[in-house]
A and B are shown apart, each in its own frame.
Chain A
Amino acid sequence: MKVANIFILIGFGLIFFQCRKEEVDDQKPAIDSNYTEAFPKACDTLYIGEYFIFKSHFTDNEAIGSYSLDIHNNFDHHSHSTEAATCSLDPVKQAINPLIYLENFSFAKGLKSYYTNDSIYIPMGVDAGDYHFHIAVTDQTGWQSIKIFSVKILER
């Protein structure tokens, strides 16, 4: 079967031709919320009717794309994270007017390291209690890193 051998060779040749590995970005960005000035950290308190400064440090091997913040209530104790468990939680309660904070931030392209310094206001009238603070950072390749921890939002 000479004909068959030729076709097999062609088939394999094509496969191996495809196999030249190209260099691609395989690194996710990193979120550091543990340095001294970082805020908030797990179990920290934010105050209603006041601004706080969101400080975190993001790094990536190539370029950071954007980051997002989500602050949502945890009145029903809905997750069981190891971090959340270390914070003391208030009793379960019904949400009436919980804070819903959803925002995305993008910035000048090409940065490999970025310190956030965003001023965020907690409006008057929102429910006090346990909240989750959810940070997501995406690099320009599309890799995303997430960090979620518990915070309290209280009246001063």
Chain B
Amino acid sequence: MRRITFIILFFITSLLFGQNTLSLNGHVLDENGHGLPAVNIWIENTSIGTQTNQEGFFSLSNINKGKYNLVISFLGYQTQTRTIDLNENTHIDVQLKPDLKSLHEVTITDKSDEENQKHQSLNTEIVDQNYLQMQSGTSLMKSLSRMPGVSTIDIGSGVSKPVIRGLSFNRLVVIENGSIHEGQQWGADHGLEIDQFSTEKVELIKGPSAIMHGPDAIAGVIKLDQSAIPSQHTVGSKINLGYKSNNQWFGGSAMAYTRLEHFFIKFRITKINYADFRVPTESVDLYSYKVNLNKGNVRNTAGKEDDIHLSFGYLKDRFQTKIYFDHVHNKTGFFANASGLEPLNVDVMLHDASRRDVQMPFQDVKHFKLSSITNYRINRLKFELNLSAQQNLRNEWILYTPHDYMPPQVPDDVGFDENLDKSFNKITYAGHLHLDFRLLEQLRITSGIQSDYQNNKIGGRSFLTPAYQQLRSGAFIQANYEINEKQNFNAGVRYDVGLLNTEAYYNWYLSPIVASNDTQWVNKQRAEALHKQFNNWVASLGYSYNTKKTALKINIGKTFRMPIAKELATNGMNNHMFRYEIGNSNLKPEIAYQIDFGFETHQNKWAAGINPFVSYFPNYIYLNPSYYQDNSDDIKFLQPYYYTEAEVLRAGGEIHSHFFPIENLKLGFIAEYIYAVQISGTKKGFTLPFSPPTNFILNLCYQLPNWKWIGQSKFNIDYKIVMTQNQIVPPEQVTNGYQRIDISWFKQFDFKKQTMSLGIIIRNLLNTKYYEHTSYYRMINLPDPGRNINIQLQIPFSKSIKK
């Protein structure tokens, strides 16, 4: 239970004197004497700090002689403060004690950015790599979805879209290593495209966070970091291996690193391969068709992933720069019987011959990203500059099936492969400059500018989202005022300007136009070119009240989001929903007002928290299922869905608590609730699509005592209760509730001075057949995966190198 701790602030003064610079080295150990990685170390009342490396070692250099308070903190452990009289180069050993107050169903904060956290008036949660390993979901987002307020929208086992409190797509921001991760997040079949092995820390901010992170952060922000930095003069490696029984998932990731005095380099390769996933049913009911599944295998949902990461950096007291290169490549099959959610084109013999092959329909996604973070500190001023360039290349391959007036055979001169249904090539350049200035002892001013340019090109035989170019820029200023030891107040404003050009689109095939007894065959225009400018402002006010045992937070925010190219100018068939989507070029920026509350209390044997929110959207942009208004509508056959604006009210929140009835045994409880209603428009009284159902998790975690050669280990049971989702909107169906049990067992053991860890996780222990309301495959009555036995192994290796 090492993930969580609550901020305890120490106010002890220190004396600074002396001229010679010295170094302070140390080793941080856990309760079992194992080195603890990623522990935050800093000297109180200074800007000097570091993190421990993979083995728990740290090193601080160029420190003046003197008496200091060294603070050592780590999620889930009691923070220690050591007073050190530094007269010569010093080495210290620190053993941290587990924090009984900590719990892994709720994580509050980390010490690394202690100042920020203290002033946070939004609810923030942080989890580390151990948490991710323990959850062991089929994708990074699936692993995170246990966190209160987080869920996913899925297509199959490999593609999961992040959802915060029921909002997804372009209403949240994903940041990796300081830069916004840009993909085809508007698309139903777009996952995160982030390597689950490379992520070392995840920070979740629930609530409007647009001031700092840009206007899309209406629902919140998911910050992912490859943050562990090796300590000085070390070399090492780490190997992760995993297996998941349900879809015969094999994954491995190998990382190697070294650090000299100031320079470090890390390299990682990941390979994942999985077969079709298996559901506890023999057939699915696809509209009026019954589709038999071979042994419950969901035909053609296999996939593979190959990732490469390289990062290096230069770290010296006041100056730090880190550069990351990431390449994620995955190929995922879609359920063959249901591309377009229409039963078609299935060669059962071909698909059922092997569980591991990926045939059409499938998508192939390559995401390249080059990003950097540079920090510089002088006295009361801190700079941070983030620069990134990324390319997201997605090809959707579906065996050519003519629809609309497409010819039986594609002519050779069209310039694309006939089986390439859609292709997107999106390039994003982004920059972000932050200045942090402590104006007075209690007043901190943060300001910054942010800008990004996107160029999205399209190809393939089908049209859905137009090609576009977009330039957005914004500037913000935020003030944090510490009223007294317990109370903080913050206020911020931001202004953004966006320019968007969408390109016209003409069909590559001819369609008839009948006019007064004369039929002409033309390349019909599907989208007009648009030139749009959107400006708007963001504001927030927050207050927090913290004592050692309780915290109260309140935040009021106004945010907005610029309409995206797809919402303005789409005009085509969505292959995953079997519907025809039509954009609306008159959409205005979507505005949101939200109030967030947070209350937490931490006692010796128990803790509890509640985080309610209420939000109001005067013009929520919504894809509204409709019908043909007259016979002259161009679109033939498919149900038309129009992008429209509706007034929307949303409310909900999360509750979490835990209790230690006896030592080593923890009982936990999490609840999530979301309510949304459209209060104007044709769907007045209906909810919003993909509303997550109310759900509860009852958790039991037991630290098993020493037992024979196994020693200490940890056992965990999650009992998840999901209520029936009756709040639906066309074309959704009511989804019955279900109950699921997940169990896991974790063990760390020493082998030749290295600490290896082993985890065995069984998800859906009872092989329960259930439907997930927020899965795209819910529409075709495809249940979620059955029992899944996961094995995770982590093998580190490291040693010091001579100077």
Q: How far is the CB of A77 from chain B (nearest CB, A)?
A: 9
Q: How many residues of B contact A (CB 8 A)?
A: 58
| Cβ-defined contact, B626 with A142, below 8 A | yes
Q: How far is the CB of B293 from chain A (nearest CB, A)?
A: 12
Cα-based distance from A147 to B289 in the complex (angstroms): 9
| Cβ-defined contact, B633 with A4, below 8 A | no
User: What residues of B have a CB within 8 angstroms of the CB of A105 in the complex?
Assistant: 628, 631
Cα-based distance from A69 to B637 in the complex (angstroms): 6
Report if A76 contacts B (CB, 8 A): yes
| Cβ-defined contact, B289 with A79, below 8 A | yes
| Cβ-defined contact, B401 with A143, below 8 A | no
**Which residue of chain A is the closest to B628 with respect to CB atoms?**
A66
| Cβ-defined contact, B343 with A80, below 8 A | yes
| Cβ-defined contact, B612 with A8, below 8 A | yes
| Cβ-defined contact, B675 with A15, below 8 A | yes
| Cβ-defined contact, B291 with A144, below 8 A | no
| Cβ-defined contact, A11 with B685, below 8 A | no
Cα-based distance from A142 to B402 in the complex (angstroms): 26
Report if A86 contacts B (CB, 8 A): no
Interface residues of B in 622-672 (CB under 8 A from A): 624-631, 633, 635-639, 649, 651-653
| Cβ-defined contact, B552 with A18, below 8 A | no
| Cβ-defined contact, B552 with A78, below 8 A | no
Check A146/B651 contact, CB under 8 A, given A11-B612, A102-B636: no
Cα-based distance from A146 to B652 in the complex (angstroms): 35
**Which residue of chain B is the closest to A28 with respect to CB atoms?**
B730
Cα-based distance from A1 to B682 in the complex (angstroms): 44
| Cβ-defined contact, A143 with B730, below 8 A | yes
| Cβ-defined contact, B597 with A22, below 8 A | no
Report if B237 contacts A (CB, 8 A): no
| Cβ-defined contact, B626 with A148, below 8 A | no
Report if B504 contacts A (CB, 8 A): no
User: What residues of B have a CB within 8 angstroms of the CB of A24 in the complex?
Assistant: 685-686
User: What residues of B have a CB within 8 angstroms of the CB of A95 in the complex?
Assistant: 402, 408
Q: How far is the CB of A95 from chain B (nearest CB, A)?
A: 4
Interface residues of A in 92-111 (CB under 8 A from B): 94-98, 100, 102-106
**Which residue of chain A is the closest to B675 with respect to CB atoms?**
A18
Interface residues of B in 722-755 (CB under 8 A from A): 728, 730-731
Report if B604 contacts A (CB, 8 A): no
Number of A-B contacts (CB under 8 A): 151
**Which residue of chain A is the closest to B677 with respect to CB atoms?**
A18
Cα-based distance from A140 to B625 in the complex (angstroms): 9
User: What residues of A have a CB within 8 angstroms of the CB of B337 in the complex?
Assistant: 80
User: What residues of B have a CB within 8 angstroms of the CB of A96 in the complex?
Assistant: 408
User: What residues of B have a CB within 8 angstroms of the CB of A72 in the complex?
Assistant: 403
| Cβ-defined contact, A104 with B343, below 8 A | no
Q: Which of A18, A68, A141 contacts B637 (CB 8 A)?
A: A68
Interface residues of B in 401-423 (CB under 8 A from A): 401-405, 408
Q: How far is the CB of B698 from chain A (nearest CB, A)?
A: 22
Report if A7 contacts B (CB, 8 A): yes
User: What residues of A have a CB within 8 angstroms of the CB of B599 in the complex?
Assistant: 1, 4, 7-8
Binds A, one of B123-131, B204-212, B344-352, B707-715: B344-352
Cα-based distance from A76 to B731 in the complex (angstroms): 30
Q: Which of A97, A102, A148 contacts B287 (CB 8 A)?
A: A148
Interface of chain B, main secondary structure: loop
Cα-based distance from A119 to B673 in the complex (angstroms): 52
Interface residues of B in 526-553 (CB under 8 A from A): 545, 550, 552
Cα-based distance from A72 to B638 in the complex (angstroms): 14
Report if B683 contacts A (CB, 8 A): yes
Report if B554 contacts A (CB, 8 A): yes
Q: How many residues of A contact B (CB 8 A)?
A: 52
Cα-based distance from A97 to B638 in the complex (angstroms): 22
Report if A57 contacts B (CB, 8 A): no
User: What residues of B have a CB within 8 angstroms of the CB of A1 in the complex?
Assistant: 550, 552, 599, 601
Q: Which of A4, A22, A98, A143 contacts B731 (CB 8 A)?
A: A143
| Cβ-defined contact, A68 with B628, below 8 A | yes
Cα-based distance from A18 to B614 in the complex (angstroms): 9
Report if B803 contacts A (CB, 8 A): no
Cα-based distance from A65 to B626 in the complex (angstroms): 8
User: What residues of A have a CB within 8 angstroms of the CB of B401 in the complex?
Assistant: 78
User: What residues of A have a CB within 8 angstroms of the CB of B677 in the complex?
Assistant: 18, 22
Q: Which of B288, B345, B637 contacts A81 (CB 8 A)?
A: B288
Cα-based distance from A104 to B633 in the complex (angstroms): 8
User: What residues of A have a CB within 8 angstroms of the CB of B405 in the complex?
Assistant: 100
Q: Which of A12, A65, A79, A142 contacts B612 (CB 8 A)?
A: A12
**Which residue of chain A is the closest to B679 with respect to CB atoms?**
A22
A7, A23, A98, A147 — which one has the most chain B CB atoms within 10 A of its CB?
A7
Q: How far is the CB of B649 from chain A (nearest CB, A)?
A: 6
User: What residues of B have a CB within 8 angstroms of the CB of A76 in the complex?
Assistant: 345
Q: How far is the CB of B609 from chain A (nearest CB, A)?
A: 11
Q: How far is the CB of A144 from chain B (nearest CB, A)?
A: 5
Q: How far is the CB of B627 from chain A (nearest CB, A)?
A: 3
**Which residue of chain B is the closest to A1 with respect to CB atoms?**
B550
Q: How far is the CB of A57 from chain B (nearest CB, A)?
A: 16
User: What residues of B have a CB within 8 angstroms of the CB of A146 in the complex?
Assistant: 287-288
**Which residue of chain B is the closest to A147 with respect to CB atoms?**
B288
Q: How far is the CB of B556 from chain A (nearest CB, A)?
A: 12
Check A106/B628 contact, CB under 8 A, given A78-B344, A78-B345: yes
Report if B290 contacts A (CB, 8 A): yes
Q: How far is the CB of B129 from chain A (nearest CB, A)?
A: 33
Q: How far is the CB of A48 from chain B (nearest CB, A)?
A: 17
Check A19/B675 contact, CB under 8 A, given A14-B651, A78-B345: yes
Q: How far is the CB of B433 from chain A (nearest CB, A)?
A: 36
Report if B799 contacts A (CB, 8 A): no
Q: Which residues of B come within 8 Å of A, CB atoms?
A: 287-292, 337, 343-346, 348, 401-405, 408, 545, 550, 552, 554, 597, 599, 601, 610, 612-614, 624-631, 633, 635-639, 649, 651-653, 673, 675, 677, 682-686, 728, 730-731
Q: Which residues of A come within 8 Å of B, CB atoms?
A: 1, 3-4, 7-8, 10-12, 14-15, 18-19, 22-24, 26, 65-66, 68-70, 72, 76, 78-83, 94-98, 100, 102-106, 134, 136, 138-144, 146-148
Q: Which 9 A-B pairs have the closest CB atoms?
A: A65-B627, A11-B612, A102-B636, A22-B685, A142-B625, A66-B628, A138-B627, A142-B730, A81-B289
List 21 interface pairs A-B (beta carbons < 8 Å), by A numbering. Answer: A1-B550, A1-B599, A3-B545, A15-B652, A65-B627, A66-B629, A70-B636, A70-B637, A78-B344, A78-B346, A81-B289, A82-B290, A95-B408, A104-B631, A136-B639, A138-B627, A141-B683, A141-B730, A143-B730, A146-B287, A148-B289
